[in-house]
Structures are given as structure tokens and as C-alpha cells.
A = this chain, B = another copy of it.
Amino acid sequence: MRPNARAINQPRTINITRHYTKHAEGSVLVEFGDTKVICTASIEESVPRFLKGQGKGWVTAEYGMLPRSTHSRMQRESAKGKQSGRTMEIQRLIARSLRAMIDLEKLGENTITLDCDVIQADGGTRTASITGACVALIDAINVLLEKGTLKTNPIKGLVAAISVGIVEGEAICDLEYVEDSIAETDMNVVMMEDGRMIEVQGTAEGEPFSHQELLTLLELAKQGCEQIFVAQREALKSEK
């Protein structure tokens, strides 16, 4: 039995609060159950040096956790003087995922930076981050469209992400911390609205996983993402 009697294919309650803070062009509080992440999108009207003069834009991301977002306090990365390998891995994943939903040519020479800061962690912080950053990114693009900076909409579609895994031999969707910490296999899937995939990252923490298990996990991920797309569309429906 899962915590809160969740079905194996049932994601946690997903809340997406837009305009959560006031300065950023896009600002979203995303909640996957007790996992809470502030996702902001910041526009800069220039591009990194390697893109200068090509007429293309850029989307990048940074990720952080408040020191006490977790069960026991983690050392603050700015005090340690460097970001952990895990942090770097996650922010690279977020950036790649969000770039996939944008036509960088249509973005022009603008950069959008997505900051995903976890204020409370309970498993699935990277998938919540991608899900929330998608909405913040759309809000920021709309600012550029309204200002007339952009003439055509560079958005290709929504992006959602979910974790799936095998826990005590059973494949389940959207692992929370107590499940994640004992999972034999952990997989994160990032998906476009049409069901095609941007990222699949499966890791055997314990036993290796079989081809059949992989297929089951992919099916669960598809079902989970569909529910996330519903939540994203709902959040975006309200007027600005």
C-alpha cells in the first residue's frame, strides 16, 4: 500500500501557482504533494558569447535547494564554494528539457534563465522543477510577445516530467521520498504533449532492470505526464 493509499499509476496532487513572486517575468510555485519548488523565468535581452550574431536565443537553468528543504540540513552550496555533481546534473537536465519546447530561432537573441529553487523536498524535485519551469517559461514568452520584442511565438508545446520506479518489485508512478529512498530502479521521463520523449533516464539502484520492466515504467510515465499536462493547461487558462 502506498502512502495516502495512492494507486500505483496515480501522481500526487499537483498544484501550480502562477505569479508567485513579483519581480520575475515568469514565477511559479509548483507542488507535487509535499515537494515545493519556486520556478522563475528571467529574460535577458542578449545571448551567451558562443551564440552572438547568429540570430538565435538561449534557454538555460539553475537549480538549488534551501539548506533545510530536506529532512536533515544540507550544507549551503554557496558556503561550500561549489555546486555538487547532483545539482549540476539536475540543472543541465532542466535546461535541456526546456530548450526542447522552444524554437530558438524564433526566440531571437534573447536568453531566458529558469531558476528552480526547492523550498521543501519530498522526492521528485527535478520533475516538479521541469513541470513548473515550463509554465514560468510560457509566462515569460508572453511578456516578450506583448512587449513586441517577439513577433512570432517560439513555443512548440508543453513539457512535463515525472519520476517512475520499481519499489519492492512493483512499478509505481511519481515516487515520494519514502518510496524513492528504497527504490530498486528510478527513472525520470520528460515528455512533449504528443507523447514523444525528450529525456529518459533510468538507473538501477539495486537490481538491474529488464526490458519488460522498462516498458512498464514507460507506460506509467506516459499516464503520469498526461495528468500533468492537464494541470499545466488548467493553470495557464486563467488570465494573466
Query: Is the Cβ of B209 less than 8 Å from the Cβ of A197?
Result: yes
Write out the residue numbers on chain B whose beta carbons fall within 8 Å of the beta carbon of A187.
200
Q: Are A82 and B85 within 8 A (Cβ)? A: no
A135 to chain B, nearest CB (A): 15
Main secondary structure of the interface of A (DSSP, over half): mixed
Contact B100 A204, beta carbon cutoff 8 Å: yes
A69 to B24, CA, bound (A): 8
Cα separation A120 to B24 with both chains bound (whole Å): 10
Q: Is the CB of B21 within 8 A of A69?
A: yes
| Chain B residues with CB below 8 A from A42, complex form | 67-68, 72-73
Min Cβ gap A41→B in Å is 8
Known: A23-B68, A42-B67, A92-B85. A196 touches B210 (CB 8 A): yes
Query: Which of B76, B120, B208 meets A192, CB within 8 Å?
Result: B208
Closest to A43 in B: B73
A117 is an interface residue with CB less than 8 A from chain B: yes
The answer to whether B21 and A120 have CB atoms under 8 Å apart is yes
Q: How far is the CA of A24 from the CA of B73 in the complex (A)?
A: 8
**With A21-B69, A199-B201 given, can you name 17 additional A-B contacts, CB distance below 8 Å?**
A21-B119, A22-B120, A23-B121, A38-B119, A40-B66, A40-B67, A42-B73, A66-B117, A67-B115, A68-B115, A76-B115, A78-B82, A85-B88, A187-B200, A197-B209, A198-B203, A200-B202
User: Which A residues form the contact surface with B (CB < 8 A)?
Assistant: 21-24, 27, 34, 36, 38, 40, 42, 44, 62, 64, 66-73, 76-83, 85-89, 91-92, 96, 100, 113, 115, 117, 119-121, 187, 191-192, 194-204, 207-211, 214, 218
